[in-house]
Amino acid sequence: MKNEKDFLGTEPVGRLLLKLALPTVAAQLINMLYNIVDRMYIGHIPKTGALALTGVGVCMPLIMIVAAFAALVGSGGAPRASIFMGQNDNESAEKTLGNCFTLQIMISVILTIILLLGNRTFLLAFGASKNTIEYGVSYMNIYAVGTIFVQLTLGMNTFITAQGFAKTGMLSVLIGAVFNIILDPIFIFGLGMGVQGAALATIISQAASCVWVLLFLFGKKSFLKIKKHNLRLQPKIILPCLALGLSVFIMQASESIISVCFNSSLLKYGGDIAVGAMTILTSVMQFAMLPLQGLGQGAQPIISYNYGAKNVERVKSAFKLLLKVSLCYSTLLWTCVMLFPKIFAGMFTSDKTLLNFTGNALRIYLACLLLFGIQLACQMTFTSLGRAKASIVVAVMRKFVLLIPLIYILPQIFRSNQTQAVYLAEPIADFFAVTFTAILFTVQFKKALAEVTSR
């Protein structure tokens, strides 16, 4: 077994990162289409497109929460499984997989009940108006039913990638994306179902991906398999996974909280058009975040495995390469957004008023996008090394200490254009967060490598 998976510790780092990162980046790009294709189609519904887009945009905090819980379990369990594999402890790795599978099913049931019972209340609190609430409720009533498919697909797919099966992980996402892209126009326009059709297409697509993921993890090709005797939850197995996944959970769940803060402030200062623009801004942000996360996921098995195997030089090499590639990508995307903001906005709306408004807002909101390569590379490496506390500190600093207060403080300072001031909170918070993360990482990375070599 060790010989089969030892390629993570023997192949040249550059070639290995290319082999693992290309499929994971492709998977995230596909996942990006998965996430935004609904909004693209909805935004172009004749006559009601702008309001429908705003209504579905208000659903994003709830959708982010569902994804965050998948990340809590999967992003915490998968690196620990890789570290166990590096230590040649396949039994502990499979116990980790089995416990995470059970917990995700339990979380899915609870989330489904909460979403079905309370989505209207949540959406009104999250910035929906009387003009947009029905669109949001129609979408969430159907989306909630597919929560278990979303949870298992996102959470369990990380265990496929963590074993080095990056292409298989990419196919998991590709299957769902193809279904979604085909079904969306059929349901939305062909059958005239509107936002309900978009939600139905999404859950059918996630179900297809879920079947693929589970067939692999129950099958013969996987190094780690879901086995009946590992399904009973054990605190010593699952609690360290949750501790490690907490930083990713905070990072994603806080996006939900921040989306609520943005939407409520923007509805107050700019009305439905400002909230609609925010839907587009967060969608464009995914062009940056998801591929960068894909790069990090590609590097994670290399870093985690070699950290477990005490191969310090390979850990260093993998991080340095991850940082360079991530920074190049974020800088390139920042340049494109700054030069051609209306092209990005035009992907989501044909409404001229919303298009002009969003084009200007994009330049403000994504002004520090070029620094995101540093933030994501450091944060993903913290998780890969099992440094739960450092990961949590970084996530909390950017979102709760910096961004949320700025959303409310800046409009009181820049009263001449309070809507613009709300958007300005993002780049200011990003600048200080990246600075803090870089300093903390420099210290913690050296400490982690020193600890592993002294064992």
Which of 88-92, 128-132, 187-191, 242-246 has the weakest average pLDDT? 128-132
Residue 443 CB: number of other CB atoms within 10 A? 10
Residue 346 CB: number of other CB atoms within 10 A? 15
Alpha-carbon distance 410 to 208, whole Å? 45
Do the Cβ atoms of 254 and 397 come closer than 8 Å? Answer: no
DSSP string, 221-271: S-SS---GGG-S--HHHHHHHHHHHHHHHHHHHHHHHHHHHHHHHHHHHH-
Q: Which residue range forms the structural domain that includes residue 84? A: 2-454
pLDDT value, residue 10? 67
- The helix, strand and coil proportions of the chain, stated in percent and rounded to the nearest 5, come to 85, 0, 15
Q: What is the mean pLDDT of residues 263-284?
A: 84
Q: How many domains does the chain have?
A: 1
- Asked if pLDDT for residue 1 goes beyond 60, the answer is no
- Percent of the chain scoring above 90 in pLDDT: 22
pLDDT value, residue 6? 65
Which of 120-134, 353-367, 423-437 has the weakest average pLDDT? 120-134
Cβ-based neighbours of 81, under 8 Å, separated by 6 or more: 93, 96, 97, 159, 162, 163, 224
Do the Cβ atoms of 172 and 206 come closer than 8 Å? Answer: no
User: 0.85 exceeded by the pTM?
Assistant: no
pLDDT value, residue 5? 53
Q: Which of 409 and 255 is assigned the larger pLDDT?
A: 409
pLDDT band at 3 (very low <50, low <70, confident <90, very high): very low
Do the Cβ atoms of 83 and 305 come closer than 8 Å? Answer: yes
Which one of 50-64, 376-390, 432-446 scores highest in mean pLDDT? 432-446
Query: What is the overall mean pLDDT for the chain?
Result: 84
What pLDDT digit, counting tens, does each position of 148-177 carry? 998 899 889 888 887 878 788 878 888 988
pLDDT value, residue 215? 92
- Asked if pLDDT for residue 36 goes beyond 80, the answer is no
Cβ-based neighbours of 317, under 8 Å, separated by 6 or more: 13
- Asked if pLDDT for residue 271 goes beyond 80, the answer is yes
Q: What is the mean pLDDT of residues 55-78?
A: 83
- Asked if pLDDT for residue 312 goes beyond 60, the answer is yes
- Asked if pLDDT for residue 241 goes beyond 50, the answer is yes
Q: Which of 63 and 436 is assigned the larger pLDDT?
A: 436
Alpha-carbon distance 252 to 250, whole Å? 6
Q: What is the mean pLDDT of residues 231-240?
A: 89
- Asked if pLDDT for residue 204 goes beyond 90, the answer is yes
What pLDDT digit, counting tens, does each position of 276-305 carry? 788 788 878 877 777 888 888 788 888 888
pLDDT value, residue 409? 95
Alpha-carbon distance 265 to 288, whole Å? 24
pLDDT value, residue 423? 93
Q: What is the mean pLDDT of residues 28-39?
A: 70
Q: Which of 433 and 164 is assigned the larger pLDDT?
A: 433
- Percent of the chain scoring above 70 in pLDDT: 94
